[in-house]
Amino acid sequence: EITVVPRPHLDVSGPLTMCRNAVGTYVIVEQPGVTYEWFADGGKILSGQNTGQITVEWQRNGRIQVRALAQRPDGGYCAEDTIFNVAVAEKVKPELTFARSSLCAGDTITLKAAPGYRAYEWNTGERSAAIRVSTPGSYWVKAENTTGCSGISDTVRVVEYSKPRIGIEGPRVLCNGSQARLRGVDLIGDVVIWEWSTGHNGKELRVDRPGLYTLIAMTINGCRDTVEYLLKEQLAVSASAVSTPFGTV
């Protein structure tokens, strides 16, 4: 009497692309009376050995091998094997770029994540590749590439500095042919750079013509304030002849 035992059928599903240290689940459509042996090269089987479902933590490129064993009446087994490769990628770490990591009160700066990822999520909740920041604090972004690997950028700490406040001292009118001295005044802040609209650098400016003058002041942290000063022209006084008993004056 000859008994024919059907060879077990292997139908395995599971991810073939993984990130390093990520855990993948692999499933077989189980058959009655069949046991399974799993082997993971490049990963560690965490659970499910000798069942139809295992979980594997991957460290490098490798492969999954599974053997299905259907027991025969004589104590032997009918076996079927299958092997498939798994590609393991490194975790991503998106790079952040920015012109500066400080801002002046009332201003904004832009933080940009490296391009090429399919999804972004900032700790602010925004999901664009770049965000505009107007408040101090810590910022980072989580990015996911086209293979599903994700990672978090370094943290950028944005600090805020106060803006200076300046004024200009000097005469409001300029007599014809004379000079006036205009002087920048540091009202609030610690100004280190003074720039006039004439191109002159320095706190004081001597002018010999009326007009609108602009002064820009900058602190050591790069914060600026701008003030304008209108210097008017003094019109000349005309003299007229006056007749008196003593003659014409």
pLDDT of residue 247: 53
Please enumerate in sequence order all residues whose Cβ is within 8 A of that of 137, keeping only pairs 6 or more positions apart, or say none: 157, 158
pLDDT of residue 21: 86
Per-residue pLDDT of the chain (249 residues; tens, 9 = 90+): 787 878 888 889 999 988 888 899 999 988 888 889 999 999 999 999 999 999 999 999 999 999 999 888 888 888 999 999 999 988 889 999 999 999 999 999 999 999 999 999 999 999 999 999 999 999 999 999 877 788 999 999 999 999 999 999 999 999 888 999 999 999 987 899 999 999 999 999 999 999 999 999 999 999 999 999 999 988 765 555 555 554 555
Closest CA to 152 of 182, 189, 185, 119: 119
Task: Find out whether 54 and 38 touch, Cβ atoms under 8 Å.
Answer: yes
Residue 55: exposure state from Cβ atoms within 10 A (0-12, 13-18, ≥19): middle
pLDDT of residue 245: 56
pLDDT of residue 81: 92
pLDDT of residue 134: 95
β-pairing verdict for 204-207 and 180-188: antiparallel
β-pairing verdict for 17-19 and 77-89: parallel
pLDDT of residue 201: 96
Structure tokens at 130: 């770049």
Closest CA to 61 of 85, 87, 79: 87
pTM of the model: 0.61
